[in-house]
Amino acid sequence: MRARSTTIQGSPESLDKGIHYISDRVLPAVMGMDGFIGLSMLADRQSGRCIITSAWEDTAALQRSASEVKAMRARAAEIIGGPATVDAWTIDVLHRLHPTGPGACTRVTWMKNRPLHLDGMIDAFGMSIVPRLEDLPGFCAVSMLTNHDDGRSTTAVTYDSRDAMLAAQDTVSEMRQDFCRAMGAEVVEVAAFELVLAQLRVPETV
């Protein structure tokens, strides 16, 4: 399974318009595309930063959608008021404990490792980290997306609420440090977002 993420550094004042555009125009359009299996949108209302991620059955479906999605991406960047950067990923870990609802929040961690170490890191994450996340109050879901060419990865852990996310912060931070130390990975950034849109049919891998 593959994913394409679009990150837009926009203005906080324009986020609501952007959310409506993604929900009302982009989502119906991509739902009709062959191989589409999901769309999510994360937003930081203080900074104006948002991440829109679409999921596809395979590389062929990802590539088929590229030209149609390009125009919608440009329009979203225009509405939200900032430049858009695009990344392509492989969906290597996905696990949901239960569906998300209004108020759900997500903490995203970007990491860097040697490409040859990624497979071991993915296996270790699924076996050692995911079961521990399940025990956290308010935990909803977790995903790990990777780029096997350059060794980058991004993990997203979603909780029922911001309070649940903040309550788990110290525990998850310790887990992250121990995991990265054991895997030889470098944390590039950690950021928190509101989950403003989640329309997902992506099969679980764990």
Is pLDDT at 203 greater than 70 in this prediction? no
For residues 27-33, average pLDDT: 93
pLDDT at 206: 63
For the chain, domain boundaries: 2-198
2-198 domain in CATH 1.20.1250.20?
no
Query: Does position 15 have pLDDT exceeding 90, yes or no?
Result: yes
Q: Contact, 106 vs 158, CB < 8 A? A: yes
141-163 mean pLDDT:
97
What's the pLDDT tens digit per position in 72-110? Answer: 999 999 999 999 999 999 999 999 988 888 999 999 999
Total residues belonging to the chain: 206
Closest CA to 58 of 32, 91, 84, 82: 91
pLDDT averaged over every residue in the chain: 94
- Identify the burial level of 153 via C-beta atoms within 10 angstroms of its C-beta, where 0-12 means exposed, 13-18 middle and 19 or more buried: buried
